[in-house]
Chain A
């Protein structure tokens, strides 16, 4: 490992659940701006977050998402679409100056094993890392990860299903038969995911989950977890990314124009509506800009 135990891992809770677009802008800002190893813990209100190379036309049931008040945001990392709500805890690890030979796959394994340890400390013993980018319990996904890496900077983020309403997943994602081909079949219906609450049959507090993830990741990278604050320059960078990228259809609806013949006008309109901030969400930005 590049880091030594005397190095610290800055842990921040940085979340604006009411504005999912800004939450994703902050995710990229911290990747670009963090000067020290940083772990961000955060939650989102209802949103479907699609991967960098996905088309909303092929992945998202926009009419259903609109009906349920679910927003659509594209993240800057690859991987698949995930559903966020307040029962889902997100973790994002930025390692600046990480001049390691480890590739994305190796990073997934390291962070995946840390997530397994975090789940163990919450009372779940049977979790395991499943390549490429999942953590599972008894064949069911409980956490998924995505990553980005340059020669000098590594970034891995993921979502842990704590008490999410996973029934909504089925309604808002277009899941193809190919995708389900190696997933678990239960009662003639395919069940692909589970939650911490479902496995433990009890609720765990948000603080317990945050602490479990922070401690496990710090230990895995031999860093000392130190709880810190969001910095003003991180907010400034996030606001810039929000205005230029994450609040815009050009980013969130990439690869839609080319495929819009595959959907109805009604679905196209719904996609546009859920992929930009509404006036209430803009007020969060006005407050941050003040």
Chain B
């Protein structure tokens, strides 16, 4: 899924964990930089409030296209979150795919 707003574009990718849940990643980006990452899906997280905080941090994340993946995963690894239905690797994989797609455009 792709959309655009002003000069920014939004690219979305998704992945279903085998036998598990879905994670959807949308990245808002300018010419060469990320202006926010939105992670949604039908998974479960514990503690829920901590995951809410991570989502808020990612929505405001600004980074170069080459740094965005590392910065995203650092935010997750700095918090003690337990995920059900998806894994951190799934999130990493989908963010990576979305960034790759952005770079091709």
Contact = CB atoms under 8 A, between A and B. Distances in A.
A51 B10 CA distance: 22
Contact of B18 (A79, A81, A179, A182): A182
A58 B48 contact: no
B30 to A, nearest CB: 13
Contacts of B3: 259, 261-262
Give the most central of A149, A182, A255, A261: most B CB within 10 Å.
Answer: A261
Interface in A169-191: 176, 178-179, 181-182
Interface in B1-49: 1, 3-5, 8, 10, 12, 14-16, 18-22, 24, 26, 28, 36, 38-48
Interface residues of A, number: 34
Contact of A259 (B10, B15, B41): B10
Contact of B48 (A54, A78, A182, A259): A78
Nearest to A78: B44
A147 B85 CA distance: 13
A78 B40 CA distance: 10
A179 B22 contact: yes
Given A104-B44, A104-B46, A105-B84, A258 B38 contact: yes
A91 B55 CA distance: 29
Contacts of B45: 53, 78
A132 B46 contact: no
Contacts of A225: none
A132 to B, nearest CB: 5
A131 B20 CA distance: 8
Interface in A32-55: 51-55
Contacts of B47: 150
B76 interface: no
A18 interface: no
B5 A261 contact: yes
B82 interface: yes
A9 to B, nearest CB: 24
A255 B38 contact: yes
Contacts of B41: 53-54
B10 A78 contact: no
Nearest to A178: B16
Give the most central of B18, B46, B51, B84: most A CB within 10 Å.
Answer: B84
Interface in B40-64: 40-48, 51, 55, 59
B6 to A, nearest CB: 9
A163 to B, nearest CB: 24
B38 A182 contact: no
A181 B40 contact: no
Contact of A261 (B10, B44, B82, B84): B10
A181 B14 CA distance: 13
Contacts of A51: 42
Given A132-B84, A148-B48, A178-B15, A80 B28 contact: no
A263 to B, nearest CB: 8
Interface of B: 1, 3-5, 8, 10, 12, 14-16, 18-22, 24, 26, 28, 36, 38-48, 51, 55, 59, 82, 84-85
Given A132-B84, A149-B46, 9 more contacts: A53-B55, A58-B40, A103-B84, A132-B20, A132-B21, A178-B22, A182-B18, A259-B38, A261-B8
6 closest A-B pairs by beta carbon, nearest first, are A80-B42, A261-B3, A261-B5, A78-B44, A262-B3, A178-B16
